[in-house]
Structure 1
Amino acid sequence: MKLLKNRKIGTHELLFVGLLVLAFVIRLGLISQGWPATNSDEGTIGLMGLHIAFNGEHPTFYYGQYYMGPHQAYVAALLFRLFGPSLFMLRFGLLLIFTLFLISTYLLTRLVYSKGWALFCLFFLGTGSSFIMARELSAIGGYTETLLFGSLLFLLAGWLVISYRPYQRLRECRWRIVVYLAWGIIAGTSLWDDLLSAPFVLMAGLLLVVFCWRELLQLITPLAALIGLLVGAFPMLYYNLHAAPGEDSLSVLNNLRGNGIMTTQVKILAVKHAIDISVPMMTGEPFCQANELAALGPTTSYARGCTLIREAWGYSYMLLLGIAILLALWGLWGAWREWRGNRQVELEAAALESTHWLRRQVIHLALLISAVITFYLYAFSSAPIDWPGIHARYLIGFLVATPAIFWPLWQGFISVQARLRTLVQVRRVVCGALLALVGALLVVGSVDAYTEAPAISANNARDMALINTLLSHRVSHIYSDYWTCNKIMFLSNERVICAVVNDQLQDSHNRYHRYYDVVSADPKAAYVFPIDIGYVKKDGDQYTLPIVDEYAPRRGFTYQIIAINGYVLDLTQ
């Protein structure tokens, strides 16, 4: 029996390693082929990494945004120093962060739920639709770290809560002080990195207050957590203490969220878009991806079939979340009643077991409430009104709560109740079928991502051809649109410097304004735009840039038009 038990443990660990490696290899294969499509938001992080690694810069925030931390850029800078700058190394750092998220979520699920469910969740999160994996692997600021930080906050808080003893003296377990300090550091740095982690900081912190309040009265533990919080958030706090009016993080976020008063009709529309489009995108619907900007890929399909698929997925997911909350409240009520019945016998095993069950029920509910807060903050903002596809990434916190949201299906599947045998069997079949369906669709999404890789590799080759053409013409300074500029600068390792201009060729949306100053000082700077942008006109086989035609005589220069691989170049002469 002992040998069999040891063999069972070994099998579980082998499955854990296998699933972890599978998730890693799936994503490693994709980024090695240049997937997902890169853009100038990602190029900005890459440029920040270059400046940190080789120019000695230490930015506090993502260029041009005073609320999003530069954590991805610092990870990239380390890898650039070790292995050289490249798009692959930029994304490899995110892959390492995501792998840590999987490990953390496995440990959290095993702590709060069960070993079997922990493996199943590892499979769920290790696969995923192309939209989900693109958010995990694109260095566009904050999202991959939000996953890791949210999971770690609950893992540390959950461990502190479950292992807590009311009359335990801290000098007998000084290691708990270290855990409080670590929790504070993670909470602080996660708020600096991206405020999407705020619901998880809030709910994990409440867990500590509710269950460990006696420990917190001893001052040393709240002091450790507070010191950690200040250390983790120090760069953000220091900046905001010295920020100019209107440039502090809260003002910037408030402007982004929208200051206008939303009518009831607009609020209903926002919630509808959030459920119809954003929730399916960020939770794994693989067939009908949504996107509002052609520069970022194929745009949203509003064909009847796709609309029905997204609506079915979105409302089903929110229904499952609602059921999970109701069952969590019911389970909490049962756990509390059992705990009350056993609390007078604190030294008995039954009392300890009921106490742990009660604490796990509350942690489970706290995870679900974190997901609800995440949805509320998103659905009642301006984000889902116009761009519910692109902005769906703001719901990435749902992935942290995956173990809690799908837990009712797992419970129904493994049920072994004796009474109501037929009903129980039907429930097991339904729950098992739903779990299998979601798992199969996530696998389909992973396969679909590989089918996209060849086209994206061709786009990457087009960008490199543009860079080589510019360099062959000895052009190192160009004007272009936002979605071209920072991408080309990073891919060229700043051999080509680009300034962003609008449709009137005026300074617009330059995150790092030194680039515009450099380009505007060069009278021979070229104009480069994608052929599908509004600035470009086509007459037969010829492409023109009317705005440059109008601008050139005033500046007294002539130019040569070249069309190459999807771009139009106006080279000054």
Structure 2
Amino acid sequence: MQNAPASVALESADVVPPRPGGYRWALRPALVAAALGVFGTLFRLVLIAADYPRADSDEATIGLAALHVAAGENFPIFFYGQHYMGTIQAYLAAPLLALGGPSTLLLRLPLVLLYVGFLVAMYRLVSSVYSAWFAVLVIGVLALGSDRVLKDQLIAHGGTAEVKPAAALLILLAYALAVGWRRYRAVGFAVWGLVAGLSLWDHLVIAPYVLVAAGVLVACRGRELAGRMGAYLLAGLAVGAAPLLAYNLRAQPGQDSLSIFLSQNDGPPVPLVERLVGGVLMGVPLSSGVCDPGVCRPWQRVWALALLALLVVSAVLAVRALRTTEEARARHLVRLALALGALLSIVAYTRSPAAGMTPMESGRYLCVLPVSVPAMLWPLWRLVRRGGVPRKIGAGVLGALLATMVVATVMVVASAVPDARADAREQRQLVDTLRETGVRHLYAGYWTCNRINFDSGETITCAVLGDNLRPGFDRYRPYRAVVAAADRPAFVFVADSPADGRLRAHLRRRGVPDAPTRTVGKYHVYLPPARLLP
């Protein structure tokens, strides 16, 4: 990028060269963007220090993988218990956990660093392809965050936090290579391939953005890709995707990562209308940051249609520019790529039954959409810059959108943070109670078990039981054998849950209705005098 032709920096129609003596003014957009980025970063650091978002067993599974990597015990390719979704987050967190021990805060710190990288890549991309002041607006929007957006950025579930900076970097690299990045050009192509490979191993939700970034490279540098530069790119891709390739080369038919990932679309048929409502009217505003914690109200869903329309308009504007002029072709191709990446992601998501069945939780599959915020806002920015009535329309819509996002962000702090802090205190009390009572082995439900395993640093071992008191889904299978060999494992269930009721009935049938029981928050802790289950 630094060695691109001087004209590249002035490609955008609304970028005005600084006047003589105006160098200080030229720095202002970058400084404002930096201030907004610092605010967004500090905001997220305060949230994770306040135990928001709520932790769960899936996040604890990443934490356990990080502990195993740190101890040199295991080096997992995939999220424990499945054959897709890589473990980059576990490897990033492993050094911190090696120093500080099991801690959700330490587990999440690398995600904040990924967020910082995302903002840097987005500012460079948007200021190069659109304009510097428009990039400031984009960074301001990305500094905000609704419940769903912040969960995608701050929970170590695997995949959702790192694909955004990866997608932004892929498109930025594609643009830099397209406009004439001359020094270390081979390194540029190799790095593009490396990032693409790592991203596809980590989570296939990034595939639409890898595709559109590759499209920019092919359209602008097709001849180079047919030669040595293409070989460098493929070499980087092979290195980045090496864990994925190593598994799939020996996987049984139907057990390869792509087949398993696509099988997520299997299940009971869901009507198209329900998938469109869940995938578009809820998924788009959820991923764009305009919904309250745990809910997307009807008036907030209206933004889905507006944002979808803005993406289409942005794509049309880019296509028109490509058809009418050969000047700044790469810039218009990148603008088109940003719009198409979002539209392809939405189409892929609405094909899934999850979009209609569980739209609130499944909205994470649109976690890459923030990369396309520039495409969503660009038509409004153009209206604002035109003046007159268009300016009033654009400013009104833009102001209403920002106000909605600010309200959604405030709602997170006002309602979700206290609940998350209370849940974290209860979890600490539970682990402390288990230690005080001498419990080292126990059975619990899925959403309880791995949290205990991680928070205790595996000094307490928990295996999963389903609601029917039969073995459940142990993502890390060795735990099941350890607990099965224990003399009298304890039981921990949410009070009055189906499993809790069945265990009480089982105790009565066994003639031990008065087995020692402790109540910790919402949990019942059972301490039977002998082994209850075979």
Q: TM-score, normalised by structure 1?
A: 0.85
Query: Using a 3 Å threshold, how does the CA distance of structure 1 residues 428 and 246 change in structure 2: closer, same or farther?
Result: same
Match of 2:46 in 1: 29
Aligned equivalents of 2:496 and 2:300: distance in 1? 29
Asked if 2 retains the 8 angstrom alpha-carbon contact of 1:192 and 1:233, the reply is yes
Asked if 1 retains the 8 angstrom alpha-carbon contact of 2:37 and 2:143, the reply is yes
Aligned equivalents of 2:392 and 2:255: distance in 1? 55
Asked if 2 retains the 8 angstrom alpha-carbon contact of 1:504 and 1:547, the reply is no
Q: 1:562 aligns with which of 497, 518, 521?
A: 518
Match of 1:344 in 2: none
Aligned-residue identity in percent: 34
Aligned equivalents of 1:285 and 1:207: distance in 2? 30
| CA displacement at 1:174 relative to structure 2 | 5.3
Query: Using a 3 Å threshold, how does the CA distance of structure 1 residues 285 and 552 change in structure 2: closer, same or farther?
Result: farther
Asked if 2 retains the 8 angstrom alpha-carbon contact of 1:185 and 1:232, the reply is yes
Q: 2:68 aligns with which of 51, 54, 72?
A: 51
Match of 1:241 in 2: 249
Query: Using a 3 Å threshold, how does the CA distance of structure 1 residues 558 and 51 change in structure 2: closer, same or farther?
Result: farther
Aligned equivalents of 2:147 and 2:277: distance in 1? 23
Which 5+ residue runs of structure 2 have no aligned equivalent?
1-17, 530-534
Aligned equivalents of 1:564 and 1:527: distance in 2? 13
| CA displacement at 1:143 relative to structure 2 | 0.5
For 1:347-371, what per-residue CA distance to the aligned partner results, in whole angstroms no more than 9, with x for missing partners? xxxxxxx2x2x22111111111111
Query: Using a 3 Å threshold, how does the CA distance of structure 1 residues 552 and 515 change in structure 2: closer, same or farther?
Result: farther
Q: 1:407 aligns with which of 349, 357, 378?
A: 378
Which aligned pairs between 1:301-450 and structure 2 lie closer than 5 A? Answer: 306=297, 308-335=298-325, 339=326, 354=327, 356=328, 358-415=329-386, 424-450=387-413
Match of 2:258 in 1: 250
Q: How large is the Cα RMSD of the aligned pairs?
A: 2.0
Aligned equivalents of 1:503 and 1:551: distance in 2? 17
Aligned equivalents of 2:32 and 2:142: distance in 1? 15
| CA displacement at 1:447 relative to structure 2 | 2.2
Aligned equivalents of 2:314 and 2:50: distance in 1? 39
Aligned equivalents of 1:547 and 1:132: distance in 2? 42
| CA displacement at 1:3 relative to structure 2 | 6.8
**Secondary structure of 1:569's partner?**
strand
Q: 1:277 aligns with which of 267, 282, 296?
A: 282
Aligned equivalents of 2:276 and 2:466: distance in 1? 33
Aligned equivalents of 2:419 and 2:340: distance in 1? 40
Match of 2:272 in 1: 267
For 1:67-121, what per-residue CA distance to the aligned partner results, in whole angstroms no more than 9, with x for missing partners? 1000000011022124443110111110001110111111111111111111110
Aligned equivalents of 2:209 and 2:30: distance in 1? 28
Match of 2:430 in 1: 466
**Secondary structure of 1:529's partner?**
strand
Mean CA deviation greater in 128-137 or 432-441: 432-441
| Residue identity opposite 2:77 in structure 1 | T
Aligned equivalents of 2:496 and 2:388: distance in 1? 57
**Secondary structure of 1:229's partner?**
helix
Mean CA deviation greater in 465-474 or 448-457: 448-457
For 1:121-168, what per-residue CA distance to the aligned partner results, in whole angstroms no more than 9, with x for missing partners? 01111111122112110001100111011111100001111227xxxx
For 1:273-318, what per-residue CA distance to the aligned partner results, in whole angstroms no more than 9, with x for missing partners? 212222221111233633xxxxxxxxx8xxxxx3x22431222222
Query: Using a 3 Å threshold, how does the CA distance of structure 1 residues 558 and 66 change in structure 2: closer, same or farther?
Result: farther
Aligned equivalents of 1:2 and 1:213: distance in 2? 38
- Is residue 454 from structure 1 mapped to residue 418 from structure 2 by the alignment? yes
Asked if 2 retains the 8 angstrom alpha-carbon contact of 1:560 and 1:572, the reply is yes
Q: 1:549 aligns with which of 489, 507, 515?
A: 507
- Is residue 506 from structure 1 mapped to residue 470 from structure 2 by the alignment? yes
- Is residue 195 from structure 1 mapped to residue 195 from structure 2 by the alignment? no
For 1:398-456, what per-residue CA distance to the aligned partner results, in whole angstroms no more than 9, with x for missing partners? 111111121111111112xxxxxxxx511111111222222222222222222222221
**Secondary structure of 1:498's partner?**
strand
**Secondary structure of 1:212's partner?**
helix
| Residue identity opposite 2:26 in structure 1 | I
Aligned equivalents of 1:93 and 1:143: distance in 2? 13
Mean CA deviation greater in 275-284 or 544-553: 544-553
| Residue identity opposite 1:248 in structure 2 | D
| CA displacement at 1:4 relative to structure 2 | 4.1
Match of 2:123 in 1: 106
Q: TM-score, normalised by structure 2?
A: 0.91
**Secondary structure of 1:414's partner?**
helix
Aligned residues: 511
| CA displacement at 1:17 relative to structure 2 | 1.9
| CA displacement at 1:388 relative to structure 2 | 0.7
- Is residue 122 from structure 1 mapped to residue 139 from structure 2 by the alignment? yes
Aligned equivalents of 1:271 and 1:551: distance in 2? 49
Match of 2:6 in 1: none
Match of 1:168 in 2: none
| Residue identity opposite 1:446 in structure 2 | T
For 1:13-47, what per-residue CA distance to the aligned partner results, in whole angstroms no more than 9, with x for missing partners? 32122111111101000001111101001010111
Query: Using a 3 Å threshold, how does the CA distance of structure 1 residues 559 and 403 change in structure 2: closer, same or farther?
Result: same
| CA displacement at 1:488 relative to structure 2 | 1.8
Aligned equivalents of 1:548 and 1:86: distance in 2? 36
**Secondary structure of 1:326's partner?**
helix
Query: Using a 3 Å threshold, how does the CA distance of structure 1 residues 374 and 532 change in structure 2: closer, same or farther?
Result: farther
- Is residue 207 from structure 1 mapped to residue 216 from structure 2 by the alignment? yes
**Secondary structure of 2:86's partner?**
coil
**Secondary structure of 1:536's partner?**
helix
- Is residue 175 from structure 1 mapped to residue 184 from structure 2 by the alignment? yes
| Residue identity opposite 1:212 in structure 2 | R
Aligned equivalents of 2:57 and 2:120: distance in 1? 31
**Secondary structure of 2:31's partner?**
helix
Query: Using a 3 Å threshold, how does the CA distance of structure 1 residues 557 and 238 change in structure 2: closer, same or farther?
Result: farther
Aligned equivalents of 1:176 and 1:552: distance in 2? 73
Query: Using a 3 Å threshold, how does the CA distance of structure 1 residues 500 and 462 change in structure 2: closer, same or farther?
Result: same
**Secondary structure of 1:527's partner?**
strand
For 1:530-565, what per-residue CA distance to the aligned partner results, in whole angstroms no more than 9, with x for missing partners? 12522234xxxxxx8335426756xx9983222221
| Residue identity opposite 1:255 in structure 2 | S
For 1:203-262, what per-residue CA distance to the aligned partner results, in whole angstroms no more than 9, with x for missing partners? 111111111122223x210000000000000011001112234332122113222167x5
For 1:328-377, what per-residue CA distance to the aligned partner results, in whole angstroms no more than 9, with x for missing partners? 32233233xxx3xxxxxxxxxxxxxx2x2x22111111111111110111
